[in-house]
């Protein structure tokens, strides 16, 4: 039995993440465990098909269609699927509505649960321990630091996304957007407003 040399683990500096990913991809492909074409499809799906533009379409539709908004707040998963969005990390969606008196903020305190079909992959700060802790402990101060000053009278509700439920914020429709088409409205909706760190 050899003596375990702890320091041996730390001698070689880690390669940049891209190099490590490329090496893993090559080994898996060579061993027939990974089909490079399938991998390209998966990457393209994340790059082209998933993202906040999907969530923006959901929000814009809710702004122009009161019946859709009712369905969205009643069962978000079904209403979002009406627009063709769904799948992994979005199987159990809940939409929470901002009003002049209530502001909703989404976090995953445990890790980085996030609604991929409507928002894509989470931004780096969403996964940071500071965001995850402070969103619960001091949401008003956190929002102010992120550029969103909420009036004292506005109640902040914090929603903890998890493996079971993923939350999406329905922001208030911006003033002065009367007469906008759904496409024009969708262009006003930001990713951050659907997480709740920004007001439109």
Place of tokens 């998966």: 42
Q: Is 76 in the site for Fe ion (CB under 5 A)?
A: no
Q: Among this protein's residues, is 112 annotated catalytic?
A: yes
Q: Which one-letter DSSP state was computed for residue 146?
A: T
Nearest residue to the partner Fe ion, using Cβ: 113
Q: Tell me if residue 26 falls in helix, strand or coil.
A: helix
Question: Cα–Cα distance between 171 and 189 in angstroms, integer?
Answer: 8
Q: Among this protein's residues, is 111 annotated catalytic?
A: yes
Angle value at C-alpha 171, between 149 and 103, nearest 5 degrees: 45
Q: How far is the CB of 50 from Fe ion (least distance, A)?
A: 17
Closer residue to Fe ion, CB minimum distance, 111 or 136: 111
Q: Among this protein's residues, is 193 annotated catalytic?
A: no
* 168: Cβ contacts below 8 Å, ≥ 6 apart: 55, 58, 76, 93, 94, 95, 96, 106, 115, 118, 119, 194
Kindly tell me which residue out of 111, 128, 130, 144 binds Fe ion, with binding defined by CB under 5 A. Answer: 111
Kindly tell me which residue out of 80, 113, 118, 195 binds Fe ion, with binding defined by CB under 5 A. Answer: 113
Q: Among this protein's residues, is 108 annotated catalytic?
A: yes
Closer residue to Fe ion, CB minimum distance, 85 or 116: 116
Q: Is 108 in the site for Fe ion (CB under 5 A)?
A: yes
Q: Is 135 in the site for Fe ion (CB under 5 A)?
A: no
Q: For residue 117, give both structure tokens.
A: 């079909």
**Footprint of Fe ion (CB under 5 A):** 108, 110-113
List the catalytic residues. Answer: 108, 111-113
């Amino acid at each position: 039995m050899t003596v375990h040399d702890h320091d041996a683990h730390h001698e070689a500096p880690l390669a940049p993440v891209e190099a490590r990913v490329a090496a893993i991809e090559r080994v898996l492909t060579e061993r027939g465990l990974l089909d490079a074409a399938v991998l390209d499809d998966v990457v393209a799906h994340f790059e082209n098909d998933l993202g906040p533009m999907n969530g923006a379409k959901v929000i814009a539709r809710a702004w122009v269609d009161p019946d859709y908004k009712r369905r969205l707040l009643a069962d978000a998963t079904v209403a979002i699927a009406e627009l063709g969005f769904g799948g992994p990390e979005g199987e159990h969606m809940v939409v929470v509505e901002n009003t002049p008196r209530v502001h909703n903020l989404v976090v995953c305190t445990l890790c980085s649960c996030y609604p991929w079909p409507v928002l894509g992959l989470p931004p780096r700060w969403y996964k940071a321990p500071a965001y995850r802790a402070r969103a619960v402990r001091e949401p008003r101060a956190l929002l102010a630091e992120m550029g969103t000053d909420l009036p004292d009278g506005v109640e902040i509700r914090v929603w903890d996304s998890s493996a079971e439920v993923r939350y999406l914020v329905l922001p208030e429709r911006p003033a002065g957007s009367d007469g906008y088409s759904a496409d024009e409205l969708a262009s006003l909706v930001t990713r951050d407003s659907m997480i709740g760190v920004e007001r439109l």
